[in-house]
Amino acid sequence: MQDLTNSFLLIYAGLFPIINPVGNAPIFLELTQFCTPGQRNDLARRVAFNSFLLLLGSLFIGSHVLGFFGISLPVVRIGGGLVVTALGWRLLNSEPSADRDEAAKGPGSTIPDAFYPLTMPLTVGPGSMSVAVTLGAQRPRLTGLEGLAVLVGAIAGLLALAATIYLAYRFAQSLTSMLGRAGANVLLRLSAFILLCIGIQVIWDGWRQLSGLAR
């Protein structure tokens, strides 16, 4: 039981601050501004499911896939950091929406793809993927009931993360409604700026790791 609990807490506590679903909720709402509530709820469910699968793959087979293609974690950080930075910059400089209800009726209304950019890089970015790969590579190789407990705890931690993502995105509209249009815009700009900084930090961490390997 202790192995299961420790594995659960390691996965959930290690990935939650990086994924930050609560902080990403305003950005999710902005990217789905032309969607109906039903479409937004469906996207939230699909993003949570995609995030679970992506993190599950990163945790258990990510290090093997990177090794097969000869890609190092620092390179993944730099490449993914560039994508996150570009997304944060675009959101930071986007024009505020005037009337979303009226805009949704226009011919330019679109429904974003659930995988890109909502799942990756917004929700599961290079930082969380590299952490998941690292945790998977460093997890103890146990057998029997101990190994099963560690496996179940890790999967339970990912399921709890997926549930948190779904709830944060599912009720993003309620959160911004309480803040009002001006408050929601401020929160969006702040979240976009934090996302931009995260992307730059991921690039910097990857560059430092590459520099250390080159010495």
Residue 168 pLDDT: 93
pTM of the model: 0.74
Per the model's pLDDT, the better-predicted residue between 56 and 132 turns out to be 56
Confidence of residue 119 (pLDDT cuts 50, 70, 90): very high
Least confident range from 21-35, 93-107, 150-164, 200-214: namely 93-107
DSSP letter, residue 104: T
| Ordered DSSP codes for 44-100 | HHHHHHHHHHHHHHHHHTHHHHHHHHT--HHHHHHHHHHHHHHHHHHHHTPPPPS-H
Residue 142 pLDDT: 54
Residue 138 pLDDT: 61
CA gap 16, 36 in Å, rounded: 28
Residue 73 pLDDT: 77
Least confident range from 27-36, 107-116, 191-200: namely 107-116
Least confident range from 120-134, 137-151, 195-209: namely 137-151
Confidence of residue 134 (pLDDT cuts 50, 70, 90): confident
- Mean pLDDT of the region 136-157: 77
**111-118 long-range Cβ contacts below 8 angstroms, 24+ apart:** 111/32, 111/34, 111/35, 111/39, 111/43, 112/31, 112/32, 112/43, 114/43, 114/46, 114/47, 114/50, 115/50, 117/31, 117/87, 118/28, 118/31, 118/32, 118/43, 118/47
Mean pLDDT across the chain, nearest whole number? 82
Q: In this model, does residue 99 exceed pLDDT 60?
A: no
Span 158-178, pLDDT tens digits: 999 999 999 999 999 887 778
